[in-house]
Amino acid sequence: AAGVIQSPRHLIKEKRETATLKCYPIPRHDTVYWYQQGPGQDPQFLISFYEKMQSDKGSIPDRFSAQQFSDYHSELNMSSLELGDSALYFCASVVTSGNNEQFFGPGTRLTVL
């Protein structure tokens, strides 16, 4: 069965650089969630999209932005990277007409040097 795809799987950036993380949801899933998991931490909700519109916002810094495209894939754009942005970034997809179970991708590990 198709799963959530995230790219890249690993990313190394310098401070003050920008990064773009991509998420491809399971086919026919209309909702995407982004989570950030710092070292030794639990995943924290960043932002979500339903039908290409932002549906909720969590603890996402102003330096970050995201969007969902017409094919339902989503991109998380991160600017002015800081050392503290080093984390595992998960994307999860949901089909809203179902029981809203979230299926997680493998994550993108971002390291900021």
Applying CB under 8 A, the residues found at the interface with other proteins are 31, 33, 35, 41-45, 48, 50, 55-56, 58, 90, 92, 94, 99-107, 109
Q: Nearest CA to 25 among 109, 98, 110? A: 98
Q: Which is nearer to other proteins, 32 or 81 (CB)?
A: 32
Determine the Cα–Cα distance for residues 8 and 95; give it in Å rounded to an integer.
24
- Pairing between β-strand 108-112 and β-strand 10-13 as defined by DSSP bridges: parallel
Q: How far is the CB of 16 from other proteins (least distance, A)?
A: 26
CB of 6 to other proteins, least distance (A): 8
Comparison of 31 and 74: residue with beta carbon closer to other proteins: 31
Which C-beta is closer to other proteins: that of 25 or that of 107?
A: 107
Nearer to other proteins, 70 or 100 (CB): 100
Q: Is the peptide bond before 8 cis (omega within 30 degrees of 0)?
A: yes
- We find the least distance from the C-beta atom of residue 23 to other proteins, in angstroms, to be 12
Instruction: Identify the helix (H) or strand (E) that includes residue 10.
Output: strand 10-13
Nearest to 70 by CA among 53, 94, 46: 53
